[in-house]
Structure 1
Amino acid sequence: MSESTTADRLAEPVPPVPRRTGVRGDLVTVGIALLVVLAAAGVGWYYNRPDSGVVIYAFAPPLFGNWVPHVGPGSVFAVLVAAAVVLYGPALAARLTWRRALVAGYAASLAWIFSLAMVDGWSHGFAGRLVTDQEYLHEVPHVPDIPRFVQGFSARILDFQPDSFTTHVSGHPPGATLVFVWLDRIGLHGGAWASTFVVLVAALVAVAVPATLSLLDRPEAARAALPFAVLTPGAVWLGVSGDGLFAGVTATGVALLALSAAGFRERRRYALPVALASGLLLGFGIFLSYGLVLLGVVALAVAILGRQWRSAALAIFGALVVVGVFAAAGFWWVDGYHLVVERYYQGVALVRPYSYWVWADLAAVAIACGPAVVAAARRGVTAAFLPATRRGLLRDPVLLITLAAVLTIVFADSSGLSKAEVERIWLSFGAWLIPATALLPTGHRRWWLAGQAVVALAINHLLQTLW
């Protein structure tokens, strides 16, 4: 094929997704998801009976938490934030200049995450979240020497040793703990500062996801998805959990990959350093959580859409630099991964049944993503295989990124290494299903946003989530 023919093919417009409203299909999909959630709750309730002989270690199945109906200091504020986004979010996202829209989205996301956290109160919902004896901050005072900590990290992963790490420290690569050690080193001591930092980074998801769509030449889809990126039920776990931090870091890394591709196309000087920064963030991401290596599927989708392999090559180089630095410091990622799998089956994973969690996990992630994303993901996956749109799949960021996100969840689910708690653990994956909300009919988006808000408010007021 000649270069001119290739250029003509790439310049062809992406075939539009069929304009049929598909409301019935949306409602059927959400109905099926609801049935799966109810089935997971019912079977989980049965397993939680003392005489069932099965241990799932989840007392509000399929979510990890306890049934504790309550209200708190953030309740009224959370309702007001939700109402404001539902009523004014779509119009403002469409009318404001793009930079102002992103700033407004970030501010609204911060307000939404913090207000939901404050439903549980300042201590339990925010400042005390990361200071329990199973969390990262518990280990921070015991890290006087960072190089020695990294070098000896693998030796302390397995359980039942005198110096075994706590649950979250051992279950993640050393990068996760190092973030909080570094915060402590610069004078930001304690749970309040740690939680503040986590929320500030986690809220970047609301910027990074729509920004990626815009940078990949779908500005109208970016504006449509922005309110959904803000008003996600996943905000219940974005504030405050380490996984919220991981989601913000990796989402920013993916967005920078798209920015560098756009920069190379426009011959901008920032393209090269931004590509390297993308690789550094995504590379550091796999040292925050082992499972985040699966986000390579989403990054690959963005690289294909960006059509700038210099950007992808530089990002890969940046990621390898991070791997090399940790290896030189004494931590080899592959060794850590194998030890974590062994540690995983030293705990509750040994008794949690795969036959239940392999489908109950999907119910949990459906709750965390919300009904709008469930309905929209069905639209995206269906459109990806329709004859009218299949030809343009590799040029449509909404469809390709949605498909990539679905694949990451399928891979993570089938691995059996996340039995329960995926409403938190898979936040980084669920974020990349949000682009599909651009496929929802314009006239129905406020209703879908309201559904997102209701789910989040119900979870936070009926349950006390753990971790």
Structure 2
Amino acid sequence: MSLIDLERPQAPPRISQARSGRLAVGLWALLIVGVFVTGEVLRRAGLATEDDLPPLHAEPRLLTWQMLPAVCVAAVFVAVLPWVAQRLPWRVLLAVSWIAAVVWTVVLSLSDGLDALHRPLDAPTEYPAALDDVRADPLGWVSTFTERLGGYTTHVRGHPPLPTLVLWALEETGLRGTGWSAALIIAVGTSAVLAIAITVRCVADETTARRALPFLVLAPLTLWIATSMDAFFLGVGAWATALIAMAATRASAFAAAGGGLLLGTLPYLSYGLLPLFALPLAVVILTRPKRRLLAIAVCCAAVVPLAFTLAGFWWPDGVAATHETYLISRGSAQRSYAYFVIANLAVLGLLVGPATVHALPSVLAGRRPLAWLIGAALVGVAALDVSGVTRGEVERIWIPYAAWVVLAAGHHRPPARAWLSAQAALAVGLQMLVQSHW
């Protein structure tokens, strides 16, 4: 038997992968249509949801000419990003990708008006509305946080104290107002593009990271980067994971300390970020850092929990108090578990886009580092979904996980402009047809 004959059996797996990708996209489309139709039926019957456009916490609308800037930017990025991703020096590419992510985020948001970037944070349910309580006595506010939880705004009640303290600290630097808060959220949220690419470069290779970058920039989840605080959580979690990866591959104690410190903040930013620890765990399994570096990371991860405990905030009590307010409120606890346990997955599909869904079966079928990272993110999502912790509003809550799933789209052979166009078109279409609260 010749060498050519030995190589021929490799063709059917490639055909099978193509078919699995097409099947995944078909099921993705059916799932999305199905949950929106079912959600509308349930809404009209007054059942299962409080939302106007289930499974999204949003309202239907129609924009036309307002989307023209976003369409133009999308066209330029689809044409240019694959080229720069393959040719620019690595550090220059990171800077260009961050700028592109910021531009894409801002342009999409501005289709709602010039004040769209900070308007969501002006709502009485958001964190800035609670800053008056913090300004008077920050330490007293932390120590009595659990006892007074019921009197705070919706988002403060649903989270630990750290997000509100971050915005208070920003004010203390002289950067007052929701405009600066929005700038912080967008800057940190979009920087996750860099952190995720750096992580992939550390655990896999630079080629894989370069292929993923255009898809990370144009991911549909960008719609909820401005200005949901969950985008800030995305950035913190992504940099925590990236620093752990850098610590392992460069034997850097400084990176280990920084990664550990950021990891320690995650449970105090959001109770729903606990499953995100699956990602740095996957990085540790893939890179096997030295025990000294692990010890540094673990010790530094204890700093923030210890500080909050000494300040009077006991995390388990915060979880219990938040769960109690969750049950007595007319919020997401009123939503149907049976509907949203499926509908949430459709929203995840919207966040990651068709290019990701098409590549996902092929990527997960391999044993490559990319499959570990994506699998860890999906494990985190599954934990939140099956447990019922997240019923609706996952278009923002799952952003810290969904961004890692988008890595699968990097499996497409460059320049993959058709798939990039599909990602951008989905983002533009959603912004055109959906009025989000964030």
Return the TM-score normalized by structure 2.
Answer: 0.93
What is the aligned partner in structure 1 of residue 327 from structure 2? 345
Q: 2:69, 2:204 → 1: CA distance?
A: 36
Q: 1:379, 1:154 → 2: CA distance?
A: 46
Match of 2:255 among 270, 274, 280: 274
8 Å CA contact 1:303–1:309 kept in 2: the answer is: no
What is the aligned partner in structure 2 of residue 89 from structure 1? 81
Gaps spanning 5+ residues in structure 1: where?
A: 1-17, 265-270, 384-392
Whether 2:278 is the aligned partner of 1:297: answer yes
Tell me the alpha carbon deviations over residues 169-204 of structure 1, each in whole angstroms, 9 at most, x when there is no partner. Answer: 110110011111111111111111110111011111
Match of 1:416 among 361, 384, 388: 388
Tell me the alpha carbon deviations over residues 308-356 of structure 1, each in whole angstroms, 9 at most, x when there is no partner. Answer: 0433332222111111011111111121112212221122233211000
Q: 2:394, 2:65 → 1: CA distance?
A: 25
Q: Which portions of structure 1, spanning 4 or more consecutive aligned residues, are displaced by more than 6 angstroms? A: none
Q: 2:69, 2:297 → 1: CA distance?
A: 40
Tell me the alpha carbon deviations over residues 134-153 of structure 1, each in whole angstroms, 9 at most, x when there is no partner. Answer: 00000112212111111111
Q: 2:259, 2:130 → 1: CA distance?
A: 29
Shift of 1:127: 1.9
- 2:269 partner SS: coil
Whether 2:131 is the aligned partner of 1:140: answer yes
Aligned AA for 1:92?
V
8 Å CA contact 1:156–1:170 kept in 2: the answer is: no
Q: 2:81, 2:21 → 1: CA distance?
A: 22
Change (3 A) 1:454 1:336: same
8 Å CA contact 1:286–1:292 kept in 2: the answer is: yes
Aligned counterparts, 1:384-399, within 5 A: 393=367, 396-399=368-371
What is the aligned partner in structure 2 of residue 215 from structure 1? 202
Match of 1:307 among 261, 268, 288: 288
Match of 1:324 among 301, 306, 315: 306
8 Å CA contact 1:380–1:403 kept in 2: the answer is: no
Q: 1:313, 1:354 → 2: CA distance?
A: 40
Match of 1:446 among 412, 417, 423: 417
Aligned AA for 2:311?
A
What is the aligned partner in structure 2 of residue 406 from structure 1? 378
Return the TM-score normalized by structure 1.
Answer: 0.88
Bigger shift: residues 196-205 or 141-150: 141-150
Shift of 1:465: 0.3
Q: 1:325, 1:401 → 2: CA distance?
A: 30
- 1:336 partner SS: helix
Shift of 1:72: 6.8
8 Å CA contact 1:405–1:432 kept in 2: the answer is: yes
Structure with the bigger percentage of helix: 2
Gaps spanning 5+ residues in structure 2: where?
A: 1-12
What is the aligned partner in structure 1 of residue 118 from structure 2? 127
Match of 1:376 among 350, 359, 370: 359
Whether 2:339 is the aligned partner of 1:356: answer yes
Q: 2:430, 2:369 → 1: CA distance?
A: 31
What is the aligned partner in structure 2 of residue 7 from structure 1? none
8 Å CA contact 2:246–2:255 kept in 1: the answer is: yes
Shift of 1:368: 1.2
8 Å CA contact 2:326–2:333 kept in 1: the answer is: yes
Aligned AA for 2:170?
L
Tell me the alpha carbon deviations over residues 74-117 of structure 1, each in whole angstroms, 9 at most, x when there is no partner. Answer: x3332222112211211210111111111110000000011111
8 Å CA contact 1:258–1:303 kept in 2: the answer is: yes
8 Å CA contact 1:210–1:226 kept in 2: the answer is: yes
What is the aligned partner in structure 2 of residue 98 from structure 1? 90
Aligned AA for 2:153?
T
Q: 2:208, 2:348 → 1: CA distance?
A: 23
8 Å CA contact 2:133–2:141 kept in 1: the answer is: no
